[in-house]
Amino acid sequence: MKTALASTLALLISGAIAPVAHAQADAQASDAQLAHAVRVAQARSGVGMSHMFVFAHSGQITLLGWVPEREHVARAEQSAMSVPGVTSVDNRLSPDGGSLNAH
């Protein structure tokens, strides 16, 4: 009887956990797809991306790194906001200022 109860309990718990794990995997895949779409939009708008990182989480985009020209900072934010599914952009980009070319 204890074995049957333990088996039933284990089955119920695993049934409750599996959808959550699947939903998290779907959310991570969606975040990765959104980050990719933002990178594509950046490239199409002419933003220098060799030193930029794009992170996505539930529609929120974080841009981090350096861009080659000051006007690329604003252009990067605008192109990210133009991507369907993006709800906000945290723009932490800085113009390079020549520091990367000095090495």
11 part of a folded domain = no
92 pLDDT more than 60: yes
Structurally, the chain folds into a number of domains equal to: 1
44 part of a folded domain = yes
102 part of a folded domain = no
- Domain extent at residue 53: 27-95
Spatial separation of the C-alpha atoms in residues 57 and 33, rounded to whole Å = 11
Q: Place 65 in a pLDDT band, splitting at 50, 70 and 90.
A: very high
Q: What is the CATH number for 71?
A: 3.30.1340.30
15 part of a folded domain = no
20 part of a folded domain = no
Among residues 80, 49, 81, which one has the least CA distance to residue 65? Answer: 49
Round the average pLDDT of the chain to a whole number and report it.
80
Tell whether pTM > 0.75: no
Neighbour count for residue 10 (Cβ, 10 Å): 10
Residue that wins the pLDDT comparison between 57 and 96: 57
What is the pLDDT at residue 1? 56
16 part of a folded domain = no
pLDDT digits (tens, 9 = 90+) for 3-32: 665 565 555 555 655 554 444 556 666 999
